[in-house]
């Protein structure tokens, strides 16, 4: 025999009702069944609300009429229940009081109505069934509202009752309600229907209790809050009990206990997806490990502080006794060894009462200032990691801090594996997602805001979208682009911008300030935030500090942030350190080539890098590699470099030598040299009259450059070619290095003379390597290689 229990949501609509009937039909063909029901939909809340209106002498009648219309069913006469309710509400309204006893009688009608309605519907569907009132056999004490079941009496009564039932009739039993020995109606507390079903499963020795809900089972976290929460296939009773104790709303601690006697398995199933196997809770051992995260957001934190409490015996006892006297239960408790302060949680609904009780108890101590404050923090949520001990707690904790969520306090159980963390309510969803991603190894969400969607930025977006799903499979990292912005407008989507981003930008982007993007990320509880600067803008760099302070890591292909004043360079690094954030910019020198990382490692390991020289610019490499040996005007070759995406948005950044200068400065600063941009000796290749005009005018008149460069070529000694080079000389002992860029002639058969395409070449001279430099060579410019380099930085950060 199996017991099937259907919750209120399963009975709430015509559609779900049909599913219930179908499930009952199928299950009754497999084995004998007993069905337990909750009240339909939110009937219990509605009845409670009507009673409250009546008690307060407010208009309850219209809500009651609405209720009657909602539960009315044409084939079933509910007049007796409605009349009883009507009399009860009238009485409550007259005496302006609703005692727990009356309230139980009112609420019980919800389950009575639902069992009658379901039985009627089943009979109409040719499934013989009968509505059964559990008050006939579930016997309780008279603690109305949360009555204690007399299990042995209830067991024998239940067994006798069911022995008398005719065979082949499906019993539809009211959950939640019972009766005292005197026959007074009681209720078993919220979630009591599950308890009734568990009791019946035990008393009738069911082979399984199947609890039909509106979800596929128990998940590693509430799927409404954590998108990639995973269903748990199996749990041991003890683990389920822990989950229930820590507030997993789908389970009720009371439900598990009756099942232990006969080790009756409990399966959590979905009425709307009945083929899913759900979660099985049984006595079978499962792999030990973290099982689930739960969140309680209806709590408040009380802070009790006092200077004069150190060493005084009995203060905690007074705190807890005064609350116990008011029937207030305490959740998480924390007290430091200084004994100066005690923090603990209570239900939010009881917080004011708790404060009043404490103020009364400590009235004198408050006056003498031995107790200096009793205060309340209301916007609190308790996040519990069930199955977590402190040996591996460093990871979720560090992930929280990295996401700028600093727990208010945390607490672990001495035995068992549970850690509870108190966070601000508005941070709870983000905290849950951060910890979930960290401990379950399921795809970690990395939320990206991309600024600049030109050549590099646009290519990067396409690369990310094309590979996101394979990265998720291979690396368990889910890259979610939630913002794409240019200098004026931004497109935002917390669920991820897709392949049609170019059209979406046209249709849906809005004017913005950086604070709008930050606010959007916060409001949508987005974690692991990275801002990526693929602009060439100096004004965008102004946003770096606020982005870091708001919890973003940074990545840039833009070199400006690293090459404005040294004081900004330092300020940014200090801000990053203070906020536990990172800034990666591997593409700043040599595009996709692994140059910066190599220099960083060499320098960090104490290697004295004395010189770096070579061809730093991919575009200038392309231009001079071709122009030196081809009989084509300079402007034609330059135009080609622009079209291939090698140059800066304004190619004068390259021709002026500034871009090479920036790269030298970036490397110098990696070596702890404190140079400023103005100190670099730069050879500018742009004729003076073309230096001050605007970009479109410059681009229109590229041929004005031809005669100057033709002359440079003609002056070359035969067997040599032109190369634009950069050189950095520095030393560990020195504060500043010597940085220079210039156009030179080199032998055509030298390493520099042999460069092809847009290749850059870097020679790194160090003390240990002596005269044989480390050489890094390869494509030094181009949207595709640069975007790949930025992508590499994203994955590096995502892995941390
Ligand atoms: N092309 C290459 O080979 C390499 C380029 N880079 C760097 O990549 C960056 C991007 O270069 P491209 O894609 O070629 O430039 P681009 O001109 O094609 O794109 C720049 C984008 O930034 C946007 N933008 C400008 N100011 C902005 C602001 N204040 N806020 C937000 N967006 C803004 C523009 O609207 C444009 O969409 C540059 O900093 C460049 O130095 C770095 C290494 C190699
Ligand atoms: N314009 C730059 C692009 C890479 O930084 C170059 O030519 O090297």
Residue 164's pLDDT is what?
94
Nearest-CA residue for atom 35 of ligand 1: 486
Distance (Å, rounded) from C-alpha 392 to C-alpha 375? 33
Mean pLDDT of 591-599: 94
Is 534 touching ligand 2 by the criterion CB < 6 Å?
A: no
- Whether this prediction's pTM lies above 0.90 is answered by no
| 783 CA → ligand 1 middle, Å | 10
Point out the ligand nearest to the CA of residue 663.
2
Distance (Å, rounded) from C-alpha 118 to C-alpha 16? 12
Reading the block at residue 760, the tokens are 């850059």
Residue 191's pLDDT is what?
79
Residue 326's pLDDT is what?
92
Strand residues in 248-324 grouped as ranges (E): 266-270, 279-282, 292-305
Is 341 touching ligand 1 by the criterion CB < 6 Å?
A: no
Q: Does residue 338 register a pLDDT over 80?
A: no
HSE value, Cβ hemisphere, 13 Å, CA-based, for 546: 11
Binned at pLDDT 50, 70 and 90, residue 592 comes out as: confident
Domains of the chain, with CATH numbers? 2-41+118-282 (3.40.1160.10), 292-439 (3.30.2130.10), 444-588+792-799 (3.40.50.720), 595-781 (3.30.360.10)
Residue 402's pLDDT is what?
85
ipTM: 0.94
Hey, which residues are catalytic here?
663
Q: Does residue 773 register a pLDDT over 70?
A: yes
Pick the range with the lowest mean pLDDT from 345-354, 387-396, 608-617. Answer: 387-396
Pick the range with the lowest mean pLDDT from 319-323, 433-437, 468-472. Answer: 433-437
Binned at pLDDT 50, 70 and 90, residue 20 comes out as: very high
| 450 CA → ligand 2 middle, Å | 20
> What CA dihedral angle connects 83, 88, 89 and 90, to 10 degrees?
90
Q: What share of the chain in percent tops pLDDT 70?
A: 97
Residue 703's pLDDT is what?
94
| 760 CA → ligand 2 middle, Å | 9
Average of per-residue pLDDT values in the chain: 92
Point out the ligand nearest to the CA of residue 660.
2
Is 457 touching ligand 1 by the criterion CB < 6 Å?
A: yes
Is 654 touching ligand 2 by the criterion CB < 6 Å?
A: yes
Q: Does residue 119 register a pLDDT over 70?
A: yes
Contact 472, 506 (CB under 8 A): no
Distance (Å, rounded) from C-alpha 325 to C-alpha 419? 28
Core vs surface per residue 215-254: b (16+ CB within 10 A) or e: bbbbbbbbeebbebbebbebbbbebbbbbbbbbbebbbbb
Phi, psi of 319, deg, nearest 5: -60, -55
Distance (Å, rounded) from C-alpha 52 to C-alpha 752? 88
Q: Does residue 249 register a pLDDT over 80?
A: no
pLDDT in tens, 487-514: 999 999 999 999 999 999 999 999 999 9
Mean pLDDT of 15-22: 93
Q: Does residue 34 register a pLDDT over 90?
A: yes
Residue 255's pLDDT is what?
86
Residue 36's pLDDT is what?
98
Phi, psi of 234, deg, nearest 5: -140, 145
Reading the block at residue 644, the tokens are 């291939």
pLDDT in tens, 37-47: 999 999 999 99
When mean pLDDT is compared over 323-332, 384-393, 564-573, the highest value belongs to 564-573
Sheet holding 552-556, edge to edge: 510-511, 489-492, 477-485, 444-451, 529-533, 552-556, 583-584
Gap between the terminal Cα atoms of the chain: 52
HSE value, Cβ hemisphere, 13 Å, CA-based, for 450: 32
Residue 315's pLDDT is what?
86
Which atom of ligand 1 lies closest to the CA of 647?
1
Mean pLDDT of 670-686: 96
Residue in the structure block whose two tokens are 């409001």? 523
Residue 227's pLDDT is what?
82
Binned at pLDDT 50, 70 and 90, residue 404 comes out as: confident
Mean pLDDT of 355-367: 93
Binned at pLDDT 50, 70 and 90, residue 244 comes out as: confident
Residue 395's pLDDT is what?
85
Point out the ligand nearest to the CA of residue 659.
2
Residue 72's pLDDT is what?
63
Distance (Å, rounded) from C-alpha 58 to C-alpha 76? 30
Residue 517's pLDDT is what?
98
HSE value, Cβ hemisphere, 13 Å, CA-based, for 146: 2
Binned at pLDDT 50, 70 and 90, residue 784 comes out as: very high
């Amino acid at each position: 025999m199996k017991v099937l229990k259907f919750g209120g949501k399963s009975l709430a609509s015509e559609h779900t009702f049909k599913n219930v009937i179908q499930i009952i039909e199928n299950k009754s063909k497999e084995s004998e069944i007993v069905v337990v029901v909750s009240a339909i939909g939110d009937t219990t809340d509605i009845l409670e609300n009507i009673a409250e209106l009546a008690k307060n002498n407010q208009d309850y009648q219209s809500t009651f009429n609405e209720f009657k219309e909602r539960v009315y069913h044409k084939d079933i006469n509910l007049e007796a229940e409605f009349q009883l309710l009507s009399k009860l509400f009238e009485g409550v309204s007259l005496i302006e009081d609703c005692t727990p006893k009356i309230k139980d009688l009112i609420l019980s009608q919800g389950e009575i109505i639902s069992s009658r309605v379901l039985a009627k519907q089943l009979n109409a569907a040719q499934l013989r069934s009968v509505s059964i009132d559990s008050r006939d056999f579930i016997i309780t004490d008279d603690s109305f509202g949360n009555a204690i079941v007399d299990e042995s009496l209830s067991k024998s009564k239940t067994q006798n009752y069911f022995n008398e039932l005719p065979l082949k009739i499906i019993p539809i039993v009211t959950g939640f309600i019972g009766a005292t020995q005197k026959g007074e109606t009681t209720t078993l507390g919220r979630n009591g229907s599950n308890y009734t079903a568990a009791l019946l499963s035990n008393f009738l020795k069911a082979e399984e209790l199947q609890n039909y809900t509106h979800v596929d089972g128990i998940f590693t976290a509430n799927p409404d809050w954590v998108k990639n929460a995973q269903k748990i296939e199996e749990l041991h009773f003890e683990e389920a009990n822990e989950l229930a104790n820590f507030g997993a709303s789908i389970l009720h601690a009371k439900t598990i206990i009756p099942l232990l006697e006969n080790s009756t398995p409990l399966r959590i199933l979905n009425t709307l997806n009945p083929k899913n196997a759900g979660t099985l809770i049984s006595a079978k051992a499962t792999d030990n490990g973290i099982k689930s995260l739960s969140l309680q957001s209806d709590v408040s934190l009380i802070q009790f502080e006092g200077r004069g409490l150190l060493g005084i015996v009995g203060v905690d006892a007074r705190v807890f006794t005064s609350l116990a006297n008011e029937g207030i239960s305490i959740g998480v408790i924390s007290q430091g060894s200084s004994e100066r302060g005690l923090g603990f949680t209570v239900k939010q609904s009881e917080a004011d009462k708790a404060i009043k009780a404490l103020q009364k108890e400590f009235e004198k101590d408050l006056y003498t200032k031995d107790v200096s404050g009793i205060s309340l923090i209301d916007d609190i949520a308790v996040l519990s990691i069930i199955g977590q001990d402190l040996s591996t707690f460093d990871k979720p904790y560090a992930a929280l801090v990295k996401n700028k969520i600093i727990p208010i306090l945390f607490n672990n159980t001495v035995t068992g594996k549970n850690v509870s963390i108190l966070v601000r309510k508005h941070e709870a969803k983000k905290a849950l997602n951060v910890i979930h991603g960290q401990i379950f190894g399921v795809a970690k969400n990395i939320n990206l805001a991309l600024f600049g969607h030109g050549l590099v930025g646009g290519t990067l977006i396409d690369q990310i979208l094309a590979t996101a799903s394979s990265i998720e499979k291979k690396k368990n990292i889910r890259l979610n682009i939630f913002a794409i912005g240019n200098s004026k407008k931004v497109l935002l989507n917390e669920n991820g911008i897709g392949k049609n981003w170019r059209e979406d930008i046209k249709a849906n982007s809005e004017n913005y300030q950086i604070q709008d993007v930050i606010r959007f990320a916060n409001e949508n509880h987005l974690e692991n935030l990275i801002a990526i600067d693929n602009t060439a803008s100096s004004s965008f760099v102004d946003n770096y500090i606020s982005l870091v302070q708001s919890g973003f890591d940074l990545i840039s292909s833009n070199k400006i942030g690293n090459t404005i004043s040294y004081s900004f360079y330092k300020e940014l690094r200090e801000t990053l350190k203070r906020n536990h954030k990172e800034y990666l910019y591997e593409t700043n020198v040599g595009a996709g080539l692994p140059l910066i990382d190599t220099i960083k490692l060499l320098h960090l390991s104490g290697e004295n890098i004395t010189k770096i020289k070579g061809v730093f610019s991919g575009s200038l490499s392309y231009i001079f590699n071709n122009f030196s040996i081809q009989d084509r005007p300079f402007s034609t070759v330059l135009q080609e470099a622009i079209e291939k995406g090698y140059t800066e948005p304004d190619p004068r950044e390259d021709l002026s030598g500034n871009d090479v200068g920036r790269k030298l400065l970036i490397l110098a600063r990696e070596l702890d040299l404190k140079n400023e941009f103005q100190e670099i000796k730069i050879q500018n290749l742009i004729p003076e009259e073309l230096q001050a005009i605007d970009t479109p005018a410059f681009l229109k008149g590229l041929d004005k450059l031809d005669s100057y460069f033709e002359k440079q070529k003609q002056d070359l000694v035969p067997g040599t070619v032109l190369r634009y080079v950069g050189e950095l000389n520095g030393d560990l002992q020195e504060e500043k290095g010597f940085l220079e860029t210039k156009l030179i002639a080199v032998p055509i058969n030298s390493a520099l003379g042999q460069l092809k395409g847009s290749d850059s070449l870097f020679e790194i001279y160090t003390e240990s390597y002596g005269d044989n430099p480390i050489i890094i060579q390869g494509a030094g410019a181009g949207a595709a290689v640069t975007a790949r380099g930025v992508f590499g930085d994203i994955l590096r950060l995502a892995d941390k």
